[in-house]
């Protein structure tokens, strides 16, 4: 995109990259040399700059810390065999970022700051994109309220940042998932569709209690009957029932409109697999399991990509799976990776070259 946005760039004097082995890194622990920062004041975005990754100076009264006006995105950048860098579907995350902003009474961010800023930042720190399979550069745009006032109202000022974190896989092995019947992630009229910090904060206790029972994460259910399935942990969820891919539908606004979810739906249909986006109950899942028709269960998310589930626990009832037999998940994962590492043509125009 041609743009006249003026981004002031201050480069690091010496790169930290020499101290980090990109072949062996956990998810989200390391950050590249630079970050993007912009401020919203008097109704406009200003001071767009790329500068060395560094601490922020904030006041204790910062509104985001008290009332949680804070949103983020997760995007990934890849390197192909020739060393070219690509970002996977960033326009979709840009659109969702502004949907989250609107829900949280925050200003939207202009496309040229989000997209052009991200491209320039990733290009500057391109050497930080890992080459190893399963390793990527996780891109974290975020925005938070910066008014220093204890009154509860939408802030007048905000900060927008983009951080880059070269990362290994989010989950290193298949997950054990507990069907959550005590806590709720989201309700119609709430903010489940938005990527706001509070959704993640309120989910942690459920994951903690599930871990104490021997599970990795929870399968969220609706808040009234604890019956209708929503998401798994921080991801969308997909079931293969008798050869048909079924995933909870989005119309109530309780579920994140995942970019990986959407990519999976597109690719599954292209593979000739029927996809149903609809209401889906835990009772249907248990029944399909008992009949031997629940073929595969997996999570779909940017951080974890396609994450196989090796056991579902519903109360005392356990549904173990042999993930080695998950042919559709494996094929989908391979197809996605082949597109993202540019090993096959990008027929959907999902990859943005940097
Ligand atoms: C993502 O998949 O990007 C997520 O939302 C998970 C993230 C909070 C680590």
CATH, residue 205: 3.20.10.10
153 domain residue, yes or no: yes
Q: Of 117, 147, 169, which one is at a domain's C-terminal end? A: 169
Is it the case that residue 1 has pLDDT exceeding 50?
Answer: no
Is 347 inside a domain boundary? no
For residues 253 and 140, membership in a common domain is answered with no
Is 258 a pocket residue for ligand 1 (Cβ < 6 Å)?
Answer: no
261 and 318 inside one domain = yes
Alpha-carbon dihedral sign for residues 295, 301, 302, 307:
negative
Q: Could you tell me if 139 and 200 lie in one domain? A: no
Ligand 1 in reach of 71 Cβ (< 6 A): no
Backbone dihedral region for residue 293 (phi beyond 0: left; psi -120 to 50: alpha; all else: beta): alpha
345 occurs within a structural domain: no
Task: Answer yes or no: do 126 and 182 share one domain.
Answer: no
**106, 154 Cβ separation under 8 angstroms:** yes
Check whether residue 181 and residue 159 sit in a common domain: no
Q: Is 268 exposed, middle or buried (0-12, 13-18, 19+ CB in 10 A)?
A: buried
Domain count, the chain: 2
Q: Which atom of ligand 1 is nearest to the CA of 195?
A: 5
Whole-angstrom CA distances from 180 to 25, 114, 240 are 31, 36, 21
Residue 180 lies in a domain: yes
Pick the atom of ligand 1 nearest to 74's CA: 3
Strand pairing of 8-9 and 44-52?
A: parallel
Write out the H or E segment, with its range, that includes residue 139.
strand 136-145
Structural domain includes residue 3: no
Ligand 1 centre to CA of 237 (Å) is: 14
Give the whole-angstrom CA distance, residue 348 versus residue 354. Answer: 17
Q: Specify whether 324 is located in the same domain as 183.
A: yes
Task: Please name the residue whose Cα sits nearest to atom 9 of ligand 1.
Answer: 303
pLDDT digits (tens, 9 = 90+) for 301-345: 998 899 999 999 999 999 999 999 999 999 999 999 999 999 999
Question: Both tokens of residue 2?
Answer: 């041609």
Question: pLDDT tens, 238-263?
Answer: 999 999 999 999 999 999 999 999 99
pLDDT attached to residue 172: 87
Condensed to tens digits (0 to 9), the pLDDT of residues 23-33 reads 989 999 999 99
Q: Is 75 in the pocket of ligand 1 (CB under 6 A)?
A: no
Phi, psi of 198 (to 5 degrees): -60, -35
Within a domain: 346: no
Residues 6 or more apart whose Cβ sits within 8 Å of residue 105: 69, 154
Domain end residue (candidates: 134, 169, 204): 169
84 lies in a domain? yes
Q: Rounded mean pLDDT of 131-153? A: 96
User: With bands split at pLDDT 50, 70 and 90, how would you rate the model's confidence at 3?
Assistant: low
Find the domain containing 123 and state its range: 8-169
pLDDT tens per residue across span 13-58 = 999 999 999 998 999 999 999 999 999 999 999 999 999 999 999 9
Q: pLDDT tens digit string along 112-121? A: 999 999 999 9
Cα(303) to centroid(ligand 1), Å:
5
Distance 226 CA to ligand 1 centre (A): 24
Weakest-pLDDT range from 21-25, 161-165, 217-221, 281-285: 21-25
Q: Are residues 70 and 213 in the same domain?
A: no
Bridge partners of residue 277, in order along the sequence: 247
CB atoms within 10 A of CB 108: 16
Please identify, among 150, 169, 188, the residue that sits at the C-terminal boundary of a domain: 169
Residues 6 or more apart in contact with residue 272 via CB below 8 angstroms: none
Where do runs of H (alpha helix) occur along 105-150? 111, 117-124
- What percent of the chain is predicted at pLDDT more than 70? 99
Q: What is the mean pLDDT of residues 206-213?
A: 98
- What distance in Å separates the CA atoms of residue 175 and residue 234, rounded to the nearest whole number? 13
Spatial CB neighbours of 42, under 8 Å, sequence gap ≥ 6: none
Q: How many CA atoms are closer than 13 Å to the CA of 13, on its beta-carbon side?
A: 0
- Report how far residue 286's alpha carbon sits from residue 117's, in angstroms, rounded to the nearest whole number: 47
The rounded distance, in Å, linking the Cα atoms of 308 and 108 is: 35
Q: What is the pLDDT of residues 156-200, one digit of tens each?
A: 999 999 999 999 999 889 999 999 999 999 999 999 999 999 999
State whether 22 and 136 are in the same domain: yes
Q: To test ligand 1's pocket by mutation, which of 164, 207, 234, 260 has the most ligand atoms within 8 angstroms of CB?
A: 234
88 and 115 both lie in a single domain: yes
């Amino acid at each position: 995109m041609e743009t006249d946005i003026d981004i002031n760039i201050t480069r690091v004097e010496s790169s930290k990259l020499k101290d980090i082995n990109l072949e062996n890194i956990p998810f989200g622990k390391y950050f590249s040399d630079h970050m993007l920062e912009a401020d919203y004041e008097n109704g406009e975005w200003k001071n767009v700059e790329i500068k060395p990754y560094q601490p922020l100076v904030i006041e204790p009264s910062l509104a985001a810390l008290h009332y949680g006006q804070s949103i983020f995105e997760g995007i990934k950048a890849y390197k192909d065999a020739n060393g070219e860098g690509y970002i996977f579907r960033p326009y979709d995350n840009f659109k969702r970022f502004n949907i989250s902003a609107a829900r949280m009474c925050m200003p939207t961010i202009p496309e040229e700051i989000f997209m052009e800023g991200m491209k320039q930042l990733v290009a500057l720190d391109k050497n930080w994109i890992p080459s190893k399979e399963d390793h990527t550069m996780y891109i974290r745009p975020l925005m938070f309220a910066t008014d220093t006032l204890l009154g509860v109202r939408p802030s007048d000022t905000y900060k927008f940042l983009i951080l880059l974190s070269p990362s290994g896989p989010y989950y290193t092995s298949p997950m054990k998932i507990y069907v959550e019947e005590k806590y709720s992630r989201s309700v119609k009229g709430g903010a489940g569709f938005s990527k706001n910090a509070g959704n993640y904060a309120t989910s942690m206790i459920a994951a903690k209690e599930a871990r104490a029972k021997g599970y990795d994460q929870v399968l969220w259910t609706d808040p009234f009957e604890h019956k209708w399935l929503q998401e798994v942990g921080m991801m969308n969820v997909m079931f293969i029932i008798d050869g048909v891919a079924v995933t909870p539908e989005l119309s109530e606004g309780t579920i994140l409109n995942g970019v990986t979810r959407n990519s999976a739906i597109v690719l599954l249909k292209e593979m000739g697999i029927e996809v149903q986006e609809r209401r889906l109950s835990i009772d249907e899942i248990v029944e399909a399991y008992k009949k031997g028709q629940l073929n595969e269960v997996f999570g779909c998310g940017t951080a974890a990509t396609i994450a196989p589930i090796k056991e579902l626990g519903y109360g005392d009832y356990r549904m173990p799976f042999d993930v080695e037999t998950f042919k559709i998940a494996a094929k989908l994962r391979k197809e996605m990776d082949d597109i993202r590492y540019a090993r096959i043509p990008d027929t959907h125009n999902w990859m943005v070259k940097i």
